[in-house]
Amino acid sequence: MPKKIRIHLVAAARPNFMKIAPLYHALKQERWATPIIIHTGQHYDKSMSAAFFTDLRMPKPHINLGIGSGTHAQQTANVLIAYEKLCLDSRPDLTIVVGDVNSTLACALAATKLNIPVAHLEAGLRSFDRSMPEEINRILTDSIANILWTPSPDADKNLQKEGIAKNKIYRVGNIMIDSLIMSQKSRRKDSIEKKLKLKKQNYGVVTLHRPSNVDSKITLRQLITLLEQIAKKITLVFPVHPRTFKNLKKTHLLKQLHRTKNLIITEALPYKAFMHLISNARFALTDSGGIQEETSYLGIPCLTLRNNTERPITITAGTNKLTNIHNARKDIDKLLQKPMPKKKKIPLWDGQTAKRIVTSLRRML
Ligand code: UD1
């Protein structure tokens, strides 16, 4: 029997797990492939990591590098060192990195320098805002990857403009939608709304974790005032990210948030519970990248608290709108007056992305 191809699937942080899960399941079916899950340990809390493995029916990571938190340089450097060592001890035939977190760049760099081919899934996204750490990670990862798997035509164009050869770029679709569709049936059984006593389309979901929104006390305070105002009109559910939680505590704003009527605060939620909550919400108010895509697929209005997005297709073809602290209240008033949007289809956001990747890999390898 020919040798099986050893494929590292690198995952590090919460938004990565739903990107590797469909690919893991698809590769596992293939006789020629051995998928190996490498968790760098960038996210380590149960609610940010292990809960996602359970919900996405993945085994425990085969290898956990246990890196944890730190400054950008520390985190990136620690992953770089640990992943290089792993590759030297047990060399993979291909390293697949996803998304745009610090570990994405670090593993791509370590593998590339050892002449291990690197594939980047979710390549080509650009916010054109270099103050975002993720933008730096995206540009650098794309510039060294051998295979670039993109979700949409804008991503292909961005890569070509940066001089990346056309024959390295494969438009495969949006892998997150694979996970969303995969978990749909079991999600229906999830009773998070019952637990929180919520009525369908009678509440908004809030998530905030970008440094630009949660690292300064002034901005955090303004955001809390905004949430207080919105909560006078409609119930809000706010699952709090660890970075945001830490900063709320540090700035003594957590108490104020707890006192707000009509605002439900929870810990960061596991995947299925969170997607269930989103799919029955009236709207999402967020600074996340993935939620812009998930709401677009589900037909839930999304207001993104950012100046830009690396996912412009969610605005032109989905349900997303950019907003800011000053306009968000007006934007929410407007959307509450309109009926729910109709679901729109975005090409290749269809639950078949992992299959397309496996087919193209089979041909290539
Ligand atoms: C990271 C990614 C971001 C992604 C986000 C999703 C980078 C540069 N950023 O940001 O792109 O959208 O994940 O969540 O890679 N912490 C915990 N428990 C955990 C993880 C983190 O308490 O399981 C705390 C850490 O102490 C740290 C803070 O949260 O101080 C932020 O974590 P970090 O991984 O540095 O970045 P995120 O803000 O989560």
Q: Any catalytic annotation for residue 209?
A: yes
Per residue in 262-286, pLDDT tens?
Answer: 999 999 999 999 999 999 999 999 9
Among residues 209, 241, 252, 276, the one annotated as catalytic is 209
Q: Is the pLDDT of residue 327 over 70?
A: yes
Residue 342 per-residue DSSP state: P
CB 284 within 8 Å of CB 314? no
SS3 128: coil
**Residue 77, number of CB atoms within 10 A of its CB:** 15
- pLDDT, average across residues 86-106: 98
* pLDDT for 130 beyond 70: yes
Q: Is the minimum distance from the CB of 69 to ligand 1 under 6 angstroms?
A: yes
Residue 3 has pLDDT above 90, yes or no: no
What is the DSSP-derived secondary structure letter of residue 168?
G
Could you tell me the pLDDT band of residue 251, with boundaries at 50, 70 and 90?
Answer: very high
User: Looking at the predicted structure, is the pLDDT value of residue 1 above 70?
Assistant: no
Q: Which residues pair with 124 in a beta bridge?
A: none
Higher-pLDDT residue of 34, 195: 34
102 C-beta closer than 6 A to ligand 1: yes
Q: What is the pLDDT of residue 191?
A: 73
pTM for the model: 0.96
- How many whole angstroms from 20 Cα to the centroid of ligand 1? 18
**Per-residue pLDDT reduced to its tens digit, 197-223:** 899 999 999 999 999 999 999 999 999
Assess contact for 48 and 268: CB atoms under 8 A. yes
Nearest to 58 by CA among 15, 87, 28, 103: 28
Counting ligand 1 atoms within 8 A of each CB, the residue from 135, 176, 243, 294 with the most, and so the one to mutate, is: 243
Handedness of CA 261, 262, 267, 268 (dihedral sign): negative
Counting ligand 1 atoms within 8 A of each CB, the residue from 19, 39, 42, 137 with the most, and so the one to mutate, is 42
DSSP character for 365? -
Cβ of 242 less than 6 Å from ligand 1: yes
> pLDDT-based confidence at 132, cuts 50/70/90?
very high
User: Atom 16 (ligand 1): residue with closest C-alpha?
Assistant: 242
Q: Which helix (H) or strand (E) holds 110?
A: helix 102-113
**What pLDDT is stored for residue 190 in this prediction?**
67
What sign results for the dihedral spanned by CA atoms 45, 51, 52, 58? positive
Question: For a substitution probing ligand 1, which of 69, 79, 247, 305 has the most ligand atoms within 8 Å of its CB?
Answer: 69
**Two tokens, residue 64:** 């956990």
Distance CA 289, CA 129 (A): 14
For ligand 1, atom 28, the nearest C-alpha belongs to: 243
